[in-house]
Chains A and B, each alone.
Chain A
Amino acid sequence: MWGYKGSVTSIRDFDREGILLVLSGAARMEAEDHYGLLSGKVLGTMFLEPSTRTRLSFAAAMMKLGGQVLDFGVSEQSSFKKGESLSDAIRIVAGYCDVIVLRHPWEGAARLAAEIAGRPVINAGDGANQHPTQTFLDLYTIQKVRGKIDGLTVGFVGDLKYGRTVHSLATALTRFDCRQVFVSPPTLAIPRDLLQELNRTGVEYEQSQDLRKLLPSLDILYCTRIQQERFADIVEYERVKGAYRLNRALLAEAGVKEALRIMHPLPRVDELSPDLDETPYAVYFEQARNGVPVRQALLAMVLGKG
């Protein structure tokens, strides 16, 4: 069975073949118009946490395939306000639509939903746990901008401790022949459990605090935002933030590869200087756009039309 019982709840449920199937589906969606493929189908969106890009790109993906979108509404105005349980809400929405996209603050909420909905569920983020469609679009972007995934050195910089996009992408890359490099302050280092997983799967990796030194070895640099609330001391936050800020001058001084591509799940604050936006290195806006064909492919696949 593809994914988890035909649903997309965690990147862990996908092996290399499963991932490549989604990426080739996304490439087909981007190359040709598939309007009408999901005509007569209804997508139910349940975003119980704020989201703009993910919610809009799912809606756009469904509309581009000719399907309809039914929105559950924000939690303040919905049945949750009246004390309805998540399980009951899922069962009710499942009766109105063909596929559910769920974002919820409880970790594992999408997995539970997939078990009880009786129809496919796509996880659009469950707390600090998983956001698999982001990982698929990250992988799709890497494949698109570098022509391959195998054989690349992928660097991660920023908040590697709490960033779920980093954890999911690092896990997904264990299915490929990639070297992984983690650059962060010690307080925001990649979790030990994840490093143990890399050890178990035989992935070659390196950890460092020195971004400048590692920049020349990278093919992909995946940046994430360092959030102020992670620091008790504002002075420490300012110092750390400054040490991991990327701009055109730093890339030139470090002597990066011409083919280096910089990604970011967005929104960015000031970890990526705007002076990078017009350089060939910057692919973060393209990355955000890739969310639509990737989600088109996933919606089509879970509905048996992929």
Chain B
Amino acid sequence: MNKSIKLIAADADQAKATGPNVLTIANDANPAELSLAGVDRIDLHFPKFTDGRAYSQAYLLRRRLGFTGELRATGDVLVDQLQLMQRSGFDAAVLRADQSLAAAERQLALFADFYQGDAAHPQPHFTASGANA
């Protein structure tokens, strides 16, 4: 799998979500109720890395609602979840301060492909490769 997610070190996250074109939403917000017109970036939040609601939000924003701007993961963002984030539709992640960029790169490069389709590659392996996989 190719790395496509942009990694942002915690201290480099200057562009805090304050501008008019940036939407910051809680992880229990309903993506379908957002007004996406003119929005360039949506910051989705992981209060704890074990709280996976923002994955579904990202998936719905990308696949269901057709949002084409930046989806940024914020909060308790750890290198070992980046792959899940990238596959769920995130294209940027602000890493928690103690996270290692090198470990992030390694983790993102580990898998060649996956079984199920995702936000980035909607077709599952069985469709993409045909029945002769």
Same assembly: no
Q: Which residues of A contact B (CB under 8 A)?
A: none
Q: Which residues of B contact A (CB under 8 A)?
A: none
